[in-house]
Amino acid sequence: MRFVKGNLLEATEPLIAHGCNAQGVMGSGVAKYVREKWPKAYEDYHDWCERHSVGREELLGKNRYFSINKNQTLVNAITQVNYGQGKQARYIAVIECLVTAAVDYERLDPNLEIAIPLIGCGLGGLKWEVLKELLEEVEEKYNFGFVVYEL
């Protein structure tokens, strides 16, 4: 795991992941900046969530991918069902989304790095100390790494 002082939205890693809710809303946190920078990625994610308006809980732990360019993909990771005060992300959903992203892109190798913020630990309410340990276990088990961007 590497830590970088910088903007996640300027990351150069092949996968850029951030946490989302299953309601199709990107109104605050990192998601708000993703929406502003890549409005088509937001529209795609929003429409996808709307198609699952019944049973949104089923989206928890799933990803909606959006090609940023030929070398990079945005991972809209559904880490929580709802948004707002007290609507916490879930550790298992974060892990499931990130492992699935690596597997889906068949890039499970020592050179793969996935760019992430302190995913789920801001507005999502998770504790970084706990999530960091889980992510380190994932890195070891699946043989890929995370680059954690912090401003």
Which structure tokens are listed for 61?
A: 């732990």
Which structure tokens are listed for 6?
A: 């910088």
- Please say if the pLDDT value at position 151 is more than 90: no
pTM: 0.94
**pLDDT score at 115:** 98
Residues whose CB is less than 8 angstroms from the CB of residue 90 and which lie 6 or more positions away in sequence, other chains included: 60, 61, 79, 80, 120
> What is the distance between the alpha carbons of residues 58 and 54, in angstroms, rounded to a whole number?
9
Dump pLDDT digits (tens) for 126-144: 999 999 999 999 999 988 8
Residues whose CB is less than 8 angstroms from the CB of residue 36 and which lie 6 or more positions away in sequence, other chains included: none
**pLDDT score at 106:** 72
Average pLDDT over residues 83-112: 87
**pLDDT score at 110:** 67
Average pLDDT over residues 59-76: 96
HEC secondary structure over the chain: CEEEECCHHHCCCCEEEEEEECCCCCCCHHHHHHHHHCHHHHHHHHHHHHHCCCCHHHHCCCEEEEEEECCEEEEEEEEECCCCCCCCCCHHHHHHHHHHHHHHCCCCCCCCEEEECCCCCCCCCCCHHHHHHHHHHHHHHHCCEEEEEEC
Question: pLDDT tier at 122 (50, 70, 90 boundaries)?
Answer: very high
